[in-house]
Amino acid sequence: MVAIIKCRDYEDEYLQFLEKLHQSRRHEWEWSFSRRRDLWSKGRHLLLIASMDTYGRFEITRVGKAVRRRGAKDQEQQVRVTHVRPLRRPLPLDELLAGLTAAQRRHLVEEGQQTKGTGEAIRALLLELRPELREAVKLIEGAIDSWDFGTSRAAQEVALQRDATLGVTRMAGIQAPQLAEWDPPAEELYDDTVPPLFLDMVDGSHRLQEPTPRPAALGDRPALEDHLVTHDTRAMLGWLSEETNHVAWREFHEHGRTLLVANANRTAAERLLGCDIIFYNVSRHSLVLVQYKKLDAERGGFYYPKGDRNLAKELVRMRSLDRYAEMQAWPGDEQRLDPSPSWIKLCHPRSVLPHTTEMIHGMYFSRRQFESLRDDARLKSEKTGAVRFGYKNVPGYLDNTLFARLVETGQIGTAGTSTDLVRQQVIRSFRGQRNLVFAALSGEEPPQAKRNAQRRGTQ
pLDDT in the model for residue 271: 95
3-state secondary structure (DSSP) of residue 307: helix
Please state the pTM of the whole predicted model: 0.68
pLDDT in the model for residue 230: 54
pLDDT in the model for residue 214: 41
Residues 260, 228: contact at Cβ < 8 Å? no
Residues 441, 257: contact at Cβ < 8 Å? yes
pLDDT in the model for residue 351: 85
pLDDT in the model for residue 421: 92
How far is Cα 40 from Cα 207, in angstroms, rounded to an integer? 43
Residues 220, 238: contact at Cβ < 8 Å? no
How far is Cα 52 from Cα 281, in angstroms, rounded to an integer? 49
Residues 154-167, buried b or exposed e (16+ Cβ, 10 A)?
Answer: bbbbbbbbbbbbbb
* Of 232, 237, 235, nearest in space to 205 by CA: 237
How far is Cα 286 from Cα 345, in angstroms, rounded to an integer? 19
Residues 379, 300: contact at Cβ < 8 Å? no
pLDDT in the model for residue 67: 78
How far is Cα 327 from Cα 259, in angstroms, rounded to an integer? 28
pLDDT in the model for residue 459: 54
How far is Cα 185 from Cα 24, in angstroms, rounded to an integer? 32
3-state secondary structure (DSSP) of residue 253: strand
pLDDT tens-digit profile, the chain (459 residues): 899 999 999 999 999 888 888 775 556 788 888 888 777 765 578 999 999 998 999 999 999 988 776 555 667 778 888 888 999 999 999 999 999 999 999 999 889 888 889 999 999 999 999 999 998 998 888 766 677 888 899 999 999 999 999 999 999 999 998 898 787 776 789 999 999 999 998 877 887 655 444 444 334 444 434 444 455 677 888 889 888 889 999 999 998 899 999 999 999 999 999 999 999 999 899 999 999 999 997 888 999 999 999 999 999 999 999 999 988 877 777 888 889 999 999 999 888 888 788 999 999 999 999 999 999 999 999 899 999 999 999 999 999 999 999 999 999 999 988 889 999 999 999 999 999 999 999 998 888 888 788 777 655
Which residues, in sequence order, are CB contacts of 88 under 8 Å at separation 6+? 132
For residue 173, give Cα distances in angstroms to 6, 167, 168, 281: 37, 10, 9, 12
3-state secondary structure (DSSP) of residue 291: strand
